[in-house]
Amino acid sequence: MITVIGFNTAIDRLIRLDTLRPGEVSRALDEQAYPGGKGLHVAQTIAALGERVQLVGLVDPAHRNMIGRLMCERGVLFHGIEVADNLRTCIALQDASGQITEILGQGPLLDGAQQEALLRAFRRGVDDSDLIVLSGSLPRGFAPTTYAELAAHVHDAGKRCLVDAGGELLQRAVQAKPFLVKPNRDEISELLGRAIGDLAAATDAVRELHARGVAIPVVTMGALGAVAADASGVWHAAIELAHVRNTVGSGDCLLAGITVGMARSMNLEETLRLGVACGAANAQGEETGFVERRTVEALLSQVRVHRLA
């Protein structure tokens, strides 16, 4: 069993427009809504690859049935902590050129009892799993040290913790030395205080994180692929796609593939290959943060992986 902590559940809305002009009226050509949040994306992708997974997150009365039904259909055991306030809404606006503008909602402010209910579910998940993924932002009310504290709890339990976050959450979490962290280009630039704009810089970044005690640091670089390090060295994986529909959530699907690779005891080369194939599969699909196993398998052979000197 893999446990994913995605406390800040969301409703994802993808809206397609001809043109997005700030300050002017734009009419939607198409609109889709799905249960979302980074943790949910990770969990449903892990399930699509055939692994047992459970997700801890929030749910509200308006979306309780929709989220519960979809997670059940997709093979995710969902532990939803219900709150009265509305879940956050994340909006992706895509114009005719394919460019996407994201608007991420805040979500509910949790009181102490609601926070503790989520933390109890987290602790049960640690008891059930060898791999625990901490993914995405936290609901308002949680301290920025929360992921660091959860990662330390996982470490003390003798389990492996994977963290995907940004800002102060990531900064504090790295200090706790989780087994894996997966910042994107912007997040690693903020963490290290310098621009990480090419593969050479990404290579230096993963080496630095590895030296700080992170066993497997992974940096995603958009179309440039992903760079990862472990005791065997530094690896780069990338894929060229002729057709891209929706890149939102690709980093989440990449993390899911890496998690599955670790659960199957793959080496870093093959783990990174699976992760990049999952990210690419999401980019080719319409729904945010979801892939089909057959699409991932078809893309595996197209992923180029090599060790960096």
What does the DSSP assignment read for 130-185?
SEEEEES---BTS-TTHHHHHHHHHHHTT-EEEEE--HHHHHHHHHT--SEE--BH
Sign of CA dihedral 300, 197, 95, 255: positive
pLDDT of residue 23: 87
DSSP 3-state of 272: helix
Domains and CATH numbers, the chain: 2-308 (3.40.1190.20)
List, for residues 258-289, the tens digit of each pLDDT value.
999 999 999 999 999 999 999 999 999 988 89
* 301's tokens: 């052979």
**pLDDT 10s per residue in the chain (309 long)?**
999 999 999 998 988 888 888 888 888 888 888 899 999 999 999 999 999 999 999 999 999 999 999 999 999 999 999 999 999 999 888 888 888 888 888 889 999 999 999 999 999 999 999 999 999 999 999 999 999 999 999 999 999 999 999 999 999 999 999 999 999 999 999 999 999 999 999 999 999 999 999 999 999 999 999 999 999 999 999 999 988 888 889 999 999 999 999 999 999 999 999 999 999 999 999 888 999 999 999 999 999 999 997
Taking the C-alpha atoms of residue 82 and residue 84, their distance in angstroms, rounded to an integer, is 7
Are the beta carbons of 38 and 136 closer than 8 angstroms? yes
Q: pTM for this one? A: 0.94
Question: What is the Cα–Cα distance from 43 to 57, expressed in whole angstroms?
Answer: 11
Distance CA 56, CA 68 (A): 12
Please write the tens of the pLDDT for every residue from 4-36: 999 999 998 988 888 888 888 888 888 888 899
Burial 86-112 (b: 16+ CB within 10 A, else e): ebbbbbbbbbeeeebeeeeeebbebee
Candidates 73, 94, 84; CA nearest to 31 is 94
Distance of CA 129 to the CA centre of its chain: 18
